[in-house]
Structure 1
Amino acid sequence: MSSHSSYVPSSGVMQWMDARLPLPRLVYDSFVAYPTPRNLNYAYTFGGILAIFLVSQILTGVVLAMHYAASSGIAFESVEKIMRDVNWGWLLRYMHATGASFFFIAVYLHIFRGLYYGSYKQPREVLWILGVIIFLLMMATAFMGYVLPWGQMSFWGATVITGFFTAFPLIGDPIQQLLLGGFSVDNATLNRFFSLHYLLPFMIAGVVILHVWALHVTGQTNPTGVEVKSSKDTVPFTPHATVKDGFAMVVFLAIFAYFVFYLPNFLGHPDNYIEANPLKTPAHIVPEWYFLPFYAMLRAITFNIGPIDSKLGGVLVMFGSIIVLFFLPWLDTSRVRSAAYRPIYRVLFWVFAFDCVFLGWLGAKPAEGIYPTLALIGTIYYFAHFLIILPILGLVEKPKKLPNSITEAVLAKHGGSGRPAGATASPETKG
């Protein structure tokens, strides 16, 4: 990508500003003239959707914090007051709560798009790692936010999740007590979680800036996985990408609005409309739907593994399911990025996607009968995909021939000339 800027100030004021703080130039170079691959499809629009939802979550969260009381005695009542007495409070609360679910829907689709098109491969390893860090921060933020309504599932979810840390010898109990502010979930816990829930979104925003910076340094991937070779392979970000992103945002926001206005509690748990009661345990304690695959992995380990007891084993497996994502750029040994040119990987990708959905379904089931066994099978396949299948598949799979350029792939797709006469396959497919 060329670093030359084509920005020309439109007035004397903009020229004066450009010479002192070139923010207009930065915006122009990043969101107007920035060259993007000409073959991007709608799977690449979720980055922009996530940016919109991050802003929405921060804005609605700040306003809600103005009316929320982080005290175990009145937290539940303050949420009800927001719903009934604060002007448009019901809308802000539903936008924030439902927005968390749609934030995770978009981020999961964004992650699976990256897995399908190999967006984690060289030279984009740091870009991918920053994305995984954002995902971890999102999970921490969402968990702490789920505790704030101080309903039954909030209280007991916090009790169960913080109890995981006691599985670690020596350091587990001090970490749990630090999180709780004592020896049980109480007022100090609520204050801590409220403070961190308010802080973490701004940390997410900071890492997102680094994520976008890394993207602009390495350039965006595309469905072919072939790098940009000339200006013919790219189009300006505006209007080509902005129109496509804008349309996808409108569709996604329309679905989001439907849930906000007609099904605001569909993705939540009814027990959270019952005030927290330390003396009454719910029949089944389950986290929010976006944590269910990891919850299934946690409960899949029902046996000791040598000196590691089942509780510690489950916690290690749960955290390991995310840690393994950090090493994905080096676990996938194939030099071909896109699954469009990897026939075996394309099938195994969909098997992996099904396995993740299957684990999510199992996470919502009680830990009895055949469900723990099925969860164990799903967990084994999850780790096998990253630790066994990807390293071996890259060595034995024979990919299809790659186009010599993005332009060639576009022409071939739309009935153009395709590969020029005498052209050879890309070096990426050799060996």
Structure 2
Amino acid sequence: MTSQSVRLLNRPIINILNDHLIEYPTPVNLNYMWNFGSTAGVFLVIQILTGVFLAMHYTPHIDLAFLSVEHIMRDVNNGWFIRYLHANGASMFFLVVYIHVGRGLYYGSYQKPRGFVWALGVIILILMMATAFMGYVLPWGQMSFWAATVITNLFSAFPYVGEPIVAWLWGGFSVDNATLNRFFSFHYLLPFLITGATIIHIAILHQNGSNNPLGISGGVDKISFYPYFIFKDLASWIVFGIFYAMFVYFAPNYLGHTDNYIEANPMVTPAHIVPEWYFLPQYAILRSIPHKLGGVVAMLSSLLILLILPYVGLSETRSSSFRLLRRKLFWIFVLNFLILGWIGGCAPESPYLEIGQVATVFYFAYFIVITPALGVIEKVLLTYKV
């Protein structure tokens, strides 16, 4: 090793990059499902960069917000491109993160010793949803305004503290200019909190090492992250980037709602208020409970319930690859989640409400009943065989 190499390795930043991006020992059998974590990081960077450029031209005022978005689209050089990158990037970001979470569920990445890594990932997901919701309000279109009105009003269901929370979010007695300013400020701030949480998420993960498709721990059969997995990740970025580009260039408004190209009007309520597609499963859970407070609690619990997995995942085997019943139930859960997404976009009427209620019951049962029960059953069967 040359004296210059020694000097470089004595630099703290170089050491950190070397430990986490170059020499980091990675299980040799990681498949392409593990690439979605790094892909999520790429989209986080895209969202921050495009968001900063959009903020340079955006005006957070109810009389000017809608026009400033049109100004970005029509008058700013490549403004349409930056906005479509940002709008569709949010959808791609959530798609990647949902797959990343699904991979963690399938391979048992929430089990000891990675429980805190999992919990931090759930917190990042919740921060992402808060950021996306506030960003959805900023164009100040019809769907933006009414989504803000409906969702913020949900907090009023909580006794005693609900009304003060709503008044604080609104900055007054209705969704107005103060609300828009607050949402813009939070939308700009939260991505940097997500970045900090993501860095901690990765650092803690690298302390205990990554999980792998076999679900076993050990210090053998590992290779350095660079060059092997860097180029494997790069292949995924390119493939997913092509998928992303198809929406940006050929269907930029496909994942949005046409009513958002109508300026917000408090006097005209849209026929059917729906959130963005990545909120639809939670929205279906909210509507499936015929009680306002119960629906809000169920919606929040649908995210917070992920935090209990390290405590209810009792199986000695992490990966679903070796658990036939667990694998089948996992894919039923995925189908159930997609059904919730479909129901969230449907009108709140029969039979959609009943289907949503059944899907909601299965969603919670999967975490509260099925997951711990499978662990107990597998332990009993293993003991019986021995």
TM-score (norm 2): 0.97
1:138 paired to 2:119: no
- Corresponding residue of 1:296: 284
Given the alignment of the two structures, is residue 234 of structure 1 paired with residue 215 of structure 2, yes or no?
Answer: no
1:327 correspondence with 2:332? no
- 1:359 corresponds to which residue? 340
The answer as to whether partners of 2:149 and 2:175 remain within 8 angstroms in 1 is yes
Which residue matches 1:106? Answer: 96
Give the match for residue 417 of structure 1.
none
CA separation in 1, counterparts of 2:330 and 2:370? 10
Q: CA deviation at 1:235?
A: 1.2
Give ranges in structure 1 of 5+ residues lacking alignment: 1-7, 303-309, 402-426
Contact 2:316 2:379 in 1 (8 A): no
Shift of 1:364: 0.2
Structure 2 portions without partners, runs of 5+: none
Q: Determine if contact 2:315/2:379 at 8 Å carries over to the other structure.
A: no
1:376 aligns with 2:364: no
Amino acid in structure 1 at the alignment position of 2:80: W
SS of 1:397's equivalent in the other structure is: helix
Which of 374, 378, 386 does residue 397 from structure 1 map onto?
Answer: 378
Q: Which amino acid aligns with 1:326?
A: L
> Once the two structures are superposed, what CA deviation does each residue of 1:368-406 show, in whole Å capped at 9, x if it has no partner?
1211111100000000000001111111137999xxxxx
**Does 2:135 match 1:154?**
no
DSSP-derived class of the 1:40 partner: coil
Residue 159 of structure 2 corresponds to residue 169 of structure 1: yes
Distance in 2 between residues matched to 1:229 and 1:56, nearest whole Å: 35
Measured at CA, do residues 400 and 271 of structure 1 come closer, stay the same or move farther in structure 2, by a change above 3 Å? farther
Measured in 1, the distance between the counterparts of 2:133 and 2:13 equals 36
Percent of aligned positions with the same letter in both sequences? 54
Distance 1:399 1:194 in 2: 54
Paired with 2:362 and 2:327, the residues of 1 have a C-alpha distance of 16
1:162-198 deviation line (CA, Å, top 9, x unaligned)? 0100000110000000001011111000000000000
Q: Which amino acid aligns with 1:315?
A: V
**Aligned counterparts of 2:205 and 2:334: Cα–Cα separation in 1:** 25
Supply the distance in 2 between the matched residues of 1:207 and 1:150 (Cα, whole angstroms): 29
User: Hey, what does 1:94 align to over in structure 2?
Assistant: 84
Cα displacement (A) at 1:280: 0.1
> AA paired with 1:311?
K
CA–CA separation in structure 1 for the residues paired with 2:200 and 2:325? 34
Pair 1:430–1:200, CA change in 2 (3 A)? farther
What corresponds to 2:327 in structure 1?
A: 346
In 2, Cα distance between equivalents of 1:31 and 1:295 = 38
Pair member with larger Rg: 1
The 3-state SS of whatever aligns with 1:235 is strand
How far did 1:205 drift? 0.2
Whether contact under 8 Å (1:32, 1:236) holds in the other structure is yes
Q: 2:311 is aligned with what amino acid? A: W
Task: Please tell me whether the aligned partners of residues 342 and 398 of structure 1 are also in contact (alpha carbons under 8 angstroms).
Answer: no
Q: Output the amino acid matched with 1:95.
A: L
- Per-residue Cα deviation, 1:267-326 (whole angstroms, up to 9, x for no partner): 000000000000000000000000000000000011xxxxxxx10000010011111101
- Which of 266, 274, 292 is 2:262 aligned to? 274
Q: Give the match's secondary structure for 1:185.
A: coil
Give the direction of change, closer, same or farther, for the CA distance of 1:206–1:263 in structure 2 (3 Å limit).
same
Whether the 8 Å CA contact 1:83–1:89 is kept in 2: the answer is: yes
Aligned residues: 386
Relative contact order (C-alpha < 8 Å, sep 6+): which is higher? 2
Of 145-154 and 321-330, the range deviating more from structure 2 = 321-330
Q: Please tell me whether the aligned partners of residues 341 and 399 of structure 1 are also in contact (alpha carbons under 8 angstroms).
A: no
Q: CA RMSD in A?
A: 1.7
1:161-200 correspondence runs (5 A): 161-200=151-190
Matched with 1:385 is 366
In 2: Cα distance, 1:383 partner to 1:325 partner: 10
CA contact (8 A) 1:268 1:288 kept: yes
Pairing 1:298-317 to 2, within 5 Å after superposition: 298-302=286-290, 310-317=291-298
Provide the rounded CA distance (Å) in 1 between the counterparts of 2:254 and 2:91. Answer: 10
Q: Deviations over 1:108-139 (max 9, x none)?
A: 00000000000000000000000000000000
Distance 1:182 1:246, change over 3 A: same
| Cα distance in 2 between the residues matched to 1:314 and 1:193 | 24
Offset at residue 16 of structure 1 (A): 4.1
Q: Give the structure with the larger helix fraction.
A: 2
- List structure 1 runs of 4+ shifted beyond 6 angstroms: 398-401
Structure 1 position 229, deviation (Å):
3.6
Q: Distance in 2 between matches of 1:430 and 1:295?
A: 45
Report 1:246-257 matches (<5 A).
246-257=234-245
Counterpart of 1:217, as a letter, is: Q
- How many Å separate the matches in 2 of 1:59 and 1:252? 19
Distance 1:223 1:15 in 2: 37
3-state SS of paired residue (2:216)? coil
Shift of 1:238: 1.0
Q: Which residue of 2 aligns with 1:116?
A: 106
Which residue identity does 1:188 align to in structure 2?
Answer: A
Q: 2:250 maps to which residue?
A: 262
Per-residue CA deviations over 1:48-78 (Å, capped at 9, x if unaligned) read 1011110110000001000000000010000
Q: Distance in 2 between matches of 1:400 and 1:364?
A: 42
C-alpha displacement of 1:28: 1.5
Q: 1:24 to 1:111 in 2, by over 3 A?
A: same
